[in-house]
């Protein structure tokens, strides 16, 4: 069974940093692209970032470009999201998700999410 377990969320002041982790199991992690999607309280889903299986390519939403960095450690089957210069509007539940296959951005399954709160 595929399992994705996010951690690292919490309360941080504006301008601060946080690193999220997503521990993966139940599949060959190194063979799949992975993604982060966030959801602000009471709002819809927003794609944040994607990284390919071999880390050659990483893409970002304009809203986080230059502030967030996605990475992965295939030996540890873990996905990361380094978040710097955090803003109040970055407050959200952050989900990691596995790419369904190699045809493109189909996300399945998703982790349970970790809450990031940016507030002074």
Q: Are 17 and 83 in contact (CB under 8 A)?
A: yes
Using the rule CB under 8 A, is 95 a contact of other proteins?
yes
Given a contact cutoff of 8 angstroms between Cβ atoms, the answer to whether 74 and 30 are in contact is: yes
- Give the CA count within 13 Å in the CB-facing half-sphere of 88: 2
Q: Using the rule CB under 8 A, is 46 a contact of other proteins?
A: yes
From the list 18, 7, 42, 6, the residue with the least C-alpha distance to 119 is 18
Q: Does 68 bind other proteins (CB under 8 A)?
A: no
Residues whose CB falls within 8 Å of the CB of residue 52, separated by 6 or more in sequence, listed in order: 33, 58
62 versus 75: smaller Cβ distance to other proteins: 62
User: Closest separation between CB of residue 16 and other proteins, Å?
Assistant: 25
Closer to other proteins at the Cβ: 8 or 109? 109
Judge contact between 5 and 112, C-beta under 8 A. Answer: yes
When asked if residue 36 is in the footprint of other proteins (CB under 8 A), the reply is no
> Least separation, in Å, of the C-beta of 92 and other proteins?
13
Is 106 one of the binding residues for other proteins (CB under 8 A)?
yes
Instruction: Please give the residue ranges that form the binding site for other proteins (CB under 8 A).
Output: 37, 44-47, 50, 59, 61-62, 95, 100, 103-113
């Amino acid at each position: 069974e595929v399992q994705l377990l996010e951690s690292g969320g919490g309360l941080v002041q504006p301008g601060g940093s946080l690193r999220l982790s997503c521990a993966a199991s139940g599949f060959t992690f190194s063979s799949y692209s992975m993604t982060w999607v966030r959801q602000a309280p009471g709002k819809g889903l927003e794609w944040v970032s994607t990284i390919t299986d071999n880390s050659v390519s990483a893409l970002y939403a304009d809203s986080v470009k230059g502030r967030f960095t996605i990475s992965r450690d295939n030996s540890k089957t873990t996905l990361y999201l380094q978040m710097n210069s955090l803003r109040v509007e970055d407050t959200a539940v952050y989900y990691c998700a596995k790419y369904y296959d190699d045809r493109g951005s189909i996300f399945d399954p998703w982790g349970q999410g970790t809450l990031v709160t940016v507030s002074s």
